[in-house]
Amino acid sequence: MKKAITFSAATLALLVAGASGASAVSAASVKAEQWNSTGTIGFTANTTTPPDITNPEVPGGTGPGGTPGELAIDYASDLAFGKHEISAKSETYFADADTTAFNGTPVGAFVEMHDLRGLGSGDKNGTQLNVTQLKQFNNGSADLKGATLSFSAGTAANAGGGAYTPTAEAGFTLDPGTAQNVMSTDGTTGTYLTSYGKAADYKGNTAGGPISLSVPSGSALAGDFSTTLQWDLITAP
């Protein structure tokens, strides 16, 4: 004999309520066991704390602080070619190694810049570092006619150790009054340099080196000659 199971409306309502309550407790239990936290950080362009000048020949070696500014040139080597007796022939003289940047420690001549704008790489964020020999070598009354200043062995590096490396012109001869590109970047944040050989490559003013000054016969006159190299860091148009 089959037994019929019947539920009163009150009993059915109680069961439905119990089922709904269990579902609600289950959902609440899952949320109670889970939590989302956040991590945040912000950056602004660095206009006040320049990076230290980097020794291109000593990994991790640094010198004095560079130039304040989010986009700036930190250093460029002076070039000294010595003092010589006037020659009847055309002569080529070579620059000394740089002993100024690191308190007397010789290094190859170099130029260094930083980009701390925080814009990231992109066609409109790139930079160009140019150099212009403003005038011919001059002794205050006369030019060193026909003299040409040439750079070789130019090598770019990421001075901060990052993966990105800029591009550099390996060699060039300056034409007074005309800008010459030295190094280009794509806007990646970092500190960059171009060096011209190492200290050991600077053999002496008459023996050889990566940076040379060629003086034609008949051009040299008595006196001390000098010129100014203007380094300019420009952004993409």
- 30 band by pLDDT with thresholds 50, 70 and 90: low
Long-range CB pairs of 125-128 (<8 Å, 24+ gap) are 125/186, 125/187, 125/235, 125/236, 126/184, 126/185, 126/186, 126/187, 126/235, 126/236, 127/71, 127/184, 127/185, 127/187, 127/233, 127/234, 127/235, 127/236, 128/181, 128/183, 128/184, 128/233, 128/234, 128/236
Look at residue 13 in the predicted model and tell me its pLDDT.
41
Q: What is the pLDDT of residues 202-221, one digit of tens each?
A: 999 999 999 999 999 999 99
Least confident of 45-49, 83-87, 92-96, 130-134: 45-49
Residue 94 has pLDDT above 60, yes or no: yes
Average pLDDT of the chain to the nearest whole number:
87
pLDDT exceeds cutoff 60 at 169: yes
Least confident residue range of 26-30, 49-53, 89-93, 110-114: 26-30
Q: Tell me the pTM.
A: 0.82
Residue 195 pLDDT exceeds 70: yes
Tell me what pLDDT residue 25 has: 46
Domain boundaries, the chain: 52-235
pLDDT band with cut points at 50, 70 and 90 for residue 106: very high
- pLDDT at residue number 14: 36
Report, as an integer, the average pLDDT of 54-61: 85
* pLDDT given for residue 187 in this prediction: 97
